[in-house]
Amino acid sequence: MDTDSVRLFVLAAEKLNISAAGRALGMAPAVASARLAKLENTLGADLLHRSTRKVVLSLEGAEFLPYAREILAQEAAGRAALGQGSSDPTGTLRFTAPSTFAQLYIAPQLPEFLRLYPGISLDLRLSDSRFDLIEGSFDLALRNAALEDTSLKGRKLAEDTRILCAAPQYLEEYGQPQSPADLVAHQLIAFQDQSPRRLISAEGAQGLFDPGQSAGRLILDDGLSQKLATIAGGGISINSLWSVHRELADGTLVRILPEYRIDDQSVLWLVYPKSNVLSAKVRVFMDFLLDRIGRDPAWLKPA
């Protein structure tokens, strides 16, 4: 398979413009159209739907796109192994991460990264909803959970300690829980699909954070909204320490049942599809995040 044609397809799929993709590769529009048509003939599928007004990625094209990017990554890795190609990382890196963490810790670092690596462009999708790495053609993702998907590989960015907390005004009205059993009488803030979380003390005592069995619950499928509702006195919620450490330090929030830990084995992972070659652009971005965030996490520093 002609990798130049594959590269042309990837650019055309990203730009949704065959002529612009061809110009980026030094091809005349007619040549670019002919190269794409030849690739489609080789594959036996229409990768792009063309009209006089626009270009649209076909269903087959969307399915082939992640494999096309993989072909190019494999080629680049092979050339690098032979000492060929540019020594500076280049290309567009597609990255997805939970929105709240990214806003607090990743976004402020991005200008420095782009200054260090001017050949890399970043395409970020920030959401508390998970995107499928392979179907979404992502190079890298930040996941704050146990790494259970066997199709993924990852590097640990940092611990993701989670705690129970509430606002002082809520505790004045409802009282301070003294044990996990007391939580059933409280207002709990949770995600829609949140399962009961096991609480374990240093002495081995156990209990549950179970929104389904509480006196009342507030369902919010966004981590930042949960935090804001907790600050406003809406109830008790589970929050990552990285999200609330400043509020705990200034007294805006109070830790609940501090002698208990939440047994969910949550870790901040940088993950990528196992089948992917770890390209230079992904490697340097991972190393950058590990150095700027994971080496000395801000939420673990003394207030």
pLDDT in tens, 29-44: 999 999 999 999 999 9
User: 68: Cβ–Cβ under 8 A, 6 or more apart, which residues?
Assistant: 6, 9, 10, 13
Structure tokens at 148: 């259970």
Element (H, E) at 112: helix 110-116
Which of 123-127, 128-132, 185-189, 215-219 comes out lowest in average pLDDT? 128-132
pLDDT at residue 273 greater than cutoff 90 = no
Q: Which fold has domain 162-262?
A: D-Maltodextrin-Binding Protein; domain 2 (3.40.190)
Residue 228 CA from chain centroid, whole number: 22
At residue 244, φ and ψ (nearest 5 deg) are: -120, 5
Residues of the chain with CATH 1.10.10.10: 3-81
Residues of the chain with CATH 3.40.190.290: 162-262
In this prediction, residue 74 carries a pLDDT of 78
Indicate the pTM of the whole model.
0.67
Question: What is d(CA 184, CA 186) in angstroms, rounded to the nearest whole number?
Answer: 6
CATH number of 91-160+266-298: 3.40.190.10
Question: What is d(CA 20, CA 27) in angstroms, rounded to the nearest whole number?
Answer: 9
In this prediction, residue 275 carries a pLDDT of 62
In this prediction, residue 276 carries a pLDDT of 58
- pLDDT (tens digit, 9 = 90+) per residue, 83-141? 555 557 888 899 999 888 999 999 999 999 999 999 999 999 887 766 666 556 788 99
Which runs of consecutive H residues, i.e. helices, occur in 28-92? 29-43, 59-81
In this prediction, residue 277 carries a pLDDT of 63
What pLDDT band is residue 213 in, cutting at 50, 70 and 90? confident
CATH pick for 3-81 out of 1.20.200.10, 3.40.50.360, 1.10.10.10, 3.30.9.10: 1.10.10.10
Residues of the chain with CATH 3.40.190.10: 91-160+266-298
Residues linked to residue 151 through DSSP beta bridges, in sequence order:
none
pLDDT at residue 146 greater than cutoff 80 = no
In this prediction, residue 151 carries a pLDDT of 62
The more confidently predicted of residues 79 and 33 is 33
The more confidently predicted of residues 103 and 300 is 103
